[in-house]
Structure 1
């Protein structure tokens, strides 16, 4: 498998769709070594080229493609994966039209390719670990310290599981009971 095929394989693994050669945009053909377009979350149009393509030809291809995409009113960002060495001046010129993702090695392994195209790949997040805690009431009581918990304290803490409004209601009832008010008496003063 060639380095271009390896790059395309990594992109395919990330959900990109390989495009047939030559790439045709707005009726014009562009002979890149490979191309792929993003699906799902990525909308990039990714071009793959090696240092075997003369820099002037590569620049003309990228500029022409960028102009054709503009004419076609495409909103796809253009990325160029470049396998092999490139002169700084050539890279600067290419970066005017596309995001350049260089791979210095002419025979990169999968890790090198993934590192170079990481901006195009979905993030790999660590698997979530489920932790079963203890009873929240016990945790809150432990945080409060050596306070003798009454049934009223526990009722307020349990109301928290139903949200802020449930806590307000439980606290209102607790305060009304302490003042000797009933709901009917309390509503008259509101």
Structure 2
């Protein structure tokens, strides 16, 4: 039962609200090991079950809950966190009524739980300062260092601001200069 509490803790940290046991929908009681409801960005109804619940009973509970939610005209998606794994045939039957989020271990750690319920958790976006960073041209110049920054490097870096075609043209000019070629077309008539 400790792993059920850990799943609930992870969900609560993500803004879910623990629901009383047994779960009651349209006057019918459903005795899942635990349930939680999304409160802010998620509207999921999350059920938690372990491998201690006989699979036939679990299938009946989930199917009955789905029918009750239909009667109540609920639009709330249902997710079922299964601790201890699930056989493929049982999973297929359960997926008719709920999104199944299996956790193979019977004693999962927090990382395993977070991985299994990741679709229910809010995304952690990186800090905007890290995303925006500094000017890429400045970063390239810094990486090259003052001793390695040549006229050609500066021309290529400036061309990068105008896109890949400008870089290709700057590289073509650089290669032509190195080979002593010119862009002028020779006239064969002479």
Instruction: Please report the TM-score for the alignment, with normalisation by the length of structure 2.
Output: 0.68
Once the two structures are TM-superposed, the CA of residue 85 in structure 1 deviates from its matched residue by: 2.6
Q: Which residue of 2 is the match for residue 63 of structure 1?
A: 63
Mapped partners of 1:9, 1:45: distance in 2: 15
Q: Which residue of 2 is the match for residue 15 of structure 1?
A: 15
Give the structure with higher Rg (CA).
1
Residue deviations 1:14-56, cap 9 Å, x none? Answer: 0000000000000000000000000111000000000000000
131 and 95 in structure 1: CA distance in 2 versus 1, 3 angstrom threshold: closer
Count of residue pairs the alignment pairs up:
136
Q: Which residue of 2 is the match for residue 51 of structure 1?
A: 51
Residue deviations 1:98-154, cap 9 Å, x none? Answer: 000000000000000000000000001111216566xxxxxxxx959xxxxxxxxxx
Once the two structures are TM-superposed, the CA of residue 3 in structure 1 deviates from its matched residue by: 0.4
The answer to whether residue 82 in structure 2 is matched with residue 82 in structure 1 is: yes
Q: Which residue of 2 is the match for residue 117 of structure 1?
A: 117
User: Deviation above 3 Å: which 4+ runs of structure 1?
Assistant: 130-133
Structure 1 spans left out of the alignment, 5+ residues: 134-141, 145-190
Mapped partners of 1:56, 1:32: distance in 2: 13
Q: Which residue of 2 is the match for residue 170 of structure 1?
A: none
Tell me the SS of whatever aligns to 2:49. strand
Q: Which residue of 1 is the match for residue 37 of structure 2?
A: 37
Tell me the SS of whatever aligns to 1:47. strand
Mapped partners of 1:132, 1:80: distance in 2: 44
Alignment root-mean-square deviation, CA? 1.6
